[in-house]
Structure 1
Amino acid sequence: MKISLLEFGEGDAMSNSMVRLSNVLDYAVKADQLGFNRLWLAEHHLYNRKSAWGCPLPIIPVIAGITQKLRVGTGGILLKLHNPFDVAAQVKLWHNIYGGRIDLGLANGGAPKIELLQHEGTSSVTFDTKFATIVSYLKEEEKLREKKIVLPPYHGSVPEVWALSTTGRGFHRALQYGTNYVRSIFHEVAELAPEKELFEDFKKEFEQRHGRKVKTMLSISGSCLRSESRLRELRREAAKDEKNHLIGSVAYFEEKFPELLYTYGADEIIWRDMNRNVHEKHETLELLSGFVTKEEPVREVSLH
């Protein structure tokens, strides 16, 4: 099966921002070597002096440059805070530089303090408007050319765009704009009811409307370790957390992953490791890599 990774750039109490960032780079290299499909970086603007990043965009080309096969992306960009043209221009260029390995996940979240700074005295543009705009910049190159605008490289390939949601009915943007789709079941506000019949109808309608199958992922959080005593500790920690964490051994996830993919109708798992200890995170990578389908490297995209 395909397994991807979602990273928040967290760390233990002893690590500062640069240590946490360095750990993520090491994590990316190991994930690449073990055959994981994607590594996405989340955007969070927390009042935390030890945050590894707020906006992950500057780190995307760094990780793409130190890996060979791993797809690298955002999970997701808080588009309310960004200029769609700037984001589209950056990710398209990176996508072509790094052999077609860049993903663009878009999330309808925000950071109220930053939004106030950006929009003080003006009316802000809605997320849906920005979502539609960024998709059009990437997919409708000739419309831009009519306005004497080009997103280099002209006639280059464009990254996969993914709509992120936490509900069983949150696929409307993917259906309307022809993007791929991720559903999270670990966020505090996430709905856990599968809504599989509705989701299967969405996939059929998507194929009829856009002439291709939609790619879908299920986002989960948890821990997979060898030590049962450590897993018990993590279960106690998880009981105090509002997120939905899945915690267990390799044997547990050997059954759980296929069950989740079937129950929710998704193609791929994207895993967020709840551990903040770098050694435990690497152990989890090694254990989960046994489920990963190994694929050939992505080849460089020709622009001619």
Structure 2
Amino acid sequence: MTWLITGGAGFIGAHVVRAMAGAGERVVVYDDLSTGDVSRVPDDVPFVKASTLDRGSLRTALDEHRVTGVVHLAAKKQVAESVARPLHYYEENVHGLQNLLGAAVDHGVRDFLFSSSAAVYGMPDVTLVTEDTPCAPINPYGETKLAGEWMVRAAGHAHGMATASLRYFNVAGAADVQLADTGVFNLIPMVFEKLTEGEAPVIFGDDYATEDGTCVRDFIHVVDIASAHLAAARTLATRAPGTDLTVNIGRGEGVSVRQMIDLIGDVTGYGPAATPTTAPRRPGDPARVVASADRIRTELDWSARHDVRSMVESAWEGWCGRHPGARR
């Protein structure tokens, strides 16, 4: 079987490529390099530089590499940008997916694995978010992911593809320095940036109805995300055509923003310098979003292996690899 992995030169995608190729799966990377880095792609893995908006390149790649399965990770994913540029996000995330599904159907692809997000849930008022929790996204990014799930499921049912949607929670860490996240959009790298610039980290709101007043999130190591993709891909190969699976990828354990900043201070050696300042709440930040990980354990025989400290330690190694003066 040969898997086309879109977005395979990105932060998460490169980890998925490494996990699947390392397990003996044949993979081909398809990436427009708008945010990806081709140096993350192993030398022995075929690489196609093109966009999912390019139907001709999609069809050529599927044909030339005799692709039988697709792992679709390519997408725009910044919430604030999606609010400012909603049409761009719908074009890239929804229309790009439509092109890919059309090419996959025409080519006779049997298995299709879609990278979704916990953003589809919006602001769930529950202790643990299950896959049956109502979806009510609150920004265009989340909307495009939910629309993508609907499209994947409908195409699978209509055209006999086995499909799956994986809803990521808060991804962190790195397998090694080369694959580290280069963006500064999530909590951990945002705190790293503040500390290495001699500034205090910022907590947005400390008056939530949580144990310490700060938001609680479910952090998942990117290496675990990658292993979940491998498990899902192999499970799809055993499923009947037209079947669909939707699962959360999380640890099922909440960590508050304040707890995470304290841990970062300990891991990095910045200690008291990591004492945060408090700013007003950001609009749309739910108090608590923690995954129920029961279904993925049952359906894929998978569970996360890495704890939060290992996420921070590996992310810090990646950060220091790009910022040599960061260490104390």
TM range (shorter): 0.3 to 0.5
TM-score, normalised to structure 2, is 0.34
TM-score, normalised to structure 1, is 0.36
